[in-house]
Amino acid sequence: MPDTALTDLQTRLSDEIAARRDDLTALTQDLIRIPTLNPPGENYREICDFLDRRLLRSGFHTELIRAEGSPGDSEKYPRWNIVARREGNRPGECVHFNSHIDVVDVGKGWTTDPFGGEVKDGKVYGRGACDMKGGLAASIVAAEAFLAVVPDWQGAIEISGTADEESGGFGGVAYLAEKGHFERVDHVIIPEPLNVDRICLGHRGVWWAEIETHGEIAHGSMPFLGDCAVRHMGAVLHEMEETLFPALARKRTDMPVVPEGARQSTLNINSLHGGQAEIAKDSTGLPSPVVPDSARMVIDRRFLIEEDIDEVQGEIRDVLERVRANRENFAYDIREMHRVLPTMTDRQAPVVTTVEAAIRKTLSKDPDFVVSPGTYDQKHIDRIGKLKNCIAYGPGILDLAHKPDEYVGIDDMVASAQVMALSLLSLLGPPQTP
Ligand SMILES: [Zn+2]
């Protein structure tokens, strides 16, 4: 296809999406109005049925897949996913848009109905508007507009709505990846809310572990007859403050993580429990006097592509061993709970350069390349699906995710849908002739 024909097609595609602005808005509202709270994982089947009807109408072949036996899957809260696929006129590459269908708890502080999908000042409000039902809607409208404007195309388009991203994605993308789903896929775009002019290449790694210190139970009036596990844990925290936190702050990364503060190794003390269970706030009873014989701490360590998981674990073990060397009767256990390795797609990978060019065309500016501080479903596509050609790109504003009065801008949704459609055109459209 000559240059002028291509420019013409690009313009018609962008115009087509602008003309579908109200449809895009209405689709986002409809998706928000299906409350897919996770936990516990409500209405997954309902939203999959809704997407099924929509995508069947657009000529997709659809499949509803329940992740049976995955964490959280039950008869009451089945983990449903939808995968829709439409083939082009000739064999070619497959572009896959993956969105999670779940949203997090509403929380306090809303001035709009979290499941109302209210439109105000060019924004759609509701839980999941930005993270990420607006992105899901944009990818659907992008594909539909592409199908309407470009009759001659090759390869395949896939759109998936998957469960449980907010709780690790094991009943969603991980399940599909384990079943080999991504073997037939060449390019993945995840419309997470990373801002309309940014391409997210990947994420830092995460290592969760539980540290337990041991003591000996005794009457609280005679603590010298026991051994206080909480004091032992205090020594661990002290050692972390003295040596570990400063060392982590010195480890900087070349990954373009946003926000800037996360461009280093970090550690969060996620929880700390020692001794008997806390008494309820409304209880009038008193605790019984005992020396705690156990204290447990959950740590959330985020690490960099420059770091090795063995090094990350070794640092924590070194802290504990230093305490042991200086402290009588110090005994501990450490248990890994969860690990995800860092991932970062190559800056020159085809999906990256394609979306980059489409952003330039649509927004007349160069995109920023970023890395997410926390993980998202790209981890499963990379590690289980063995597919490196994957990015996150979508319309929402990252800082609004999980907040009260979450919204997505309609202009941003339109622009990101245009970027997605132009990307489809360059990956699956008619071949260009020089
Ligand atoms: Zn999300």
Q: How far is the CA of 192 from the centre of ligand 1 (A)?
A: 5
If you measure from the C-alpha of residue 166 to the centroid of ligand 1, how many angstroms do you get, rounded to a whole number? Answer: 7
The alpha carbon of 100 and the centre of ligand 1 are apart by a number of angstroms equal to 7
Active centre residues (catalytic): 102, 165
**Calpha distance 268→310 (Å, rounded):** 19
C-alpha 215 to ligand 1 mean position (Å): 41
- CA atoms of 63 and 160, how far apart (whole Å): 9
CA of 289 to the centre of ligand 1 (A): 45
The overall longest dimension of the chain from CA atoms, in Å, is: 89
- Short-list 132, 141, 171, 168, CA closest to 32: 132
Structural domains in the chain, CATH included, are 3-203+342-428 (3.40.630.10), 205-279+286-340 (3.30.70.360)
Distance 147 CA to ligand 1 centre (A): 27
Q: Is 355 within 8 Å of 349 (Cβ atoms)?
A: no
Per-residue confidence (pLDDT) for residue 306, from 0 to 100: 96
Interatomic CA distance for residues 292 and 218, integer angstroms: 8
pLDDT score, position 59: 98
Burial class from Cβ neighbours inside 10 Å (0-12, 13-18, 19+) for residue 111 reads exposed
The alpha carbon dihedral of 221, 224, 230, 234 has a sign of: positive
Cβ–Cβ under 8 Å, residues 199 and 301: no
Instruction: Give residue 76's identity as a one-letter amino acid code.
Output: K
Yes or no: say if 207 and 312 are a contact pair by the CB < 8 Å rule: yes
Residue 12 in tokens: 């018609």
Distance 109 CA to ligand 1 centre (A): 20
E strand map for 192-262:
198-203, 205-214
Sequence letter at residue 287: P
| Residue 294, C-beta contacts closer than 8 angstroms, at least 6 positions apart | 212, 213, 214, 215, 229, 274, 275
**Strands, E, within 252-328: which ranges?**
266-274, 294-303
Give the chain's length: 434
- Cα 23 to ligand 1 centroid, rounded to whole Å: 22
Packing angle between helix 21-32 and helix 410-428, nearest 10 degrees?
A: 110
pLDDT of residue 433: 61
End-to-end, the C-alpha distance of the chain in Å comes to 8
Q: Which residue has 């996620």 as its token pair?
A: 270
**What residue has token string 């759609």?**
124
Task: Concatenate the DSSP letters of all residues of 5-53 into one string.
Answer: HHHHHHHHHHHHHHHTHHHHHHHHHHHHTS--BTTTTTTHHHHHHHHHH
- pLDDT for 434 equals 56
pLDDT in tens, the chain (434 residues): 778 888 899 999 999 999 999 999 999 999 999 999 999 999 999 999 999 999 999 999 999 999 999 999 999 999 999 999 999 999 999 999 999 999 999 999 999 999 999 999 999 999 999 999 999 999 999 999 999 999 999 999 999 999 999 999 999 999 999 999 999 999 999 999 999 999 999 999 999 999 999 999 999 999 999 999 999 999 999 999 999 999 999 999 999 999 999 999 999 999 999 999 888 889 888 889 999 999 999 999 999 999 999 999 999 999 999 999 999 999 999 999 999 999 999 999 999 999 999 999 999 999 999 999 999 999 999 989 999 999 999 999 988 989 999 999 999 999 999 999 999 999 999 876 65
| Interval between CA 99 and ligand 1 midpoint (Å) | 8
